[in-house]
Amino acid sequence: MARKIQSRITVTGMLKAESPIHVGGINNNPIVDLSLALNGQGEYYIPGTSLAGALRGWLETNSGDQIQSQDINQDIKNLFGHQDKDKGHASFLLIEDAVIKNSKNAKQEIRDSVGIDRYTGAAADKTKFDRAILPTGTEICFNLTLEVDSYVS
């Protein structure tokens, strides 16, 4: 059954990376083992699902003292959607894929990395690889829409 939306609240802005970013894409660069994701226009981007997961995780970790609620986890489930057998609903938050500002001119960095042996915790033999990243300070165009259900007062 379709839900009745009373209104929509849209939030737009810029996010600024506080640490380097790597969102993997199809490897089309012979110099780099793990290249960055590109959208259909050839721009670096972060999928909306990745941003939604990060936002949800942040809320679960940090909102306990700021939101006056009996059960903050239930509020977050209601906001982001949930499925429990044949009950549940889709998310009321729509987070769009976020394009990197000035993506065509963004400077990616290449970082060397090594695989870690899961048993010894040391560098694994013959597992060096290169990863492309976008540096700290990269700006990300952010768009979020909150759909307000008709039964919410």
pLDDT, tens digit, for every residue of 30-62? 778 888 888 889 889 999 999 999 998 888 888
Those residues of the chain that have pLDDT short of 50 are 152-153
Q: Is the pTM of this model over 0.75?
A: yes
Q: Quote the pLDDT of residue 98.
A: 93
Cβ burial of 18 (10 Å; 0-12, 13-18, 19+) is exposed
Q: Quote the pLDDT of residue 145.
A: 93
- Alpha-carbon distance of 135 to 8, in angstroms, equals 34
- Alpha-carbon distance of 116 to 1, in angstroms, equals 48
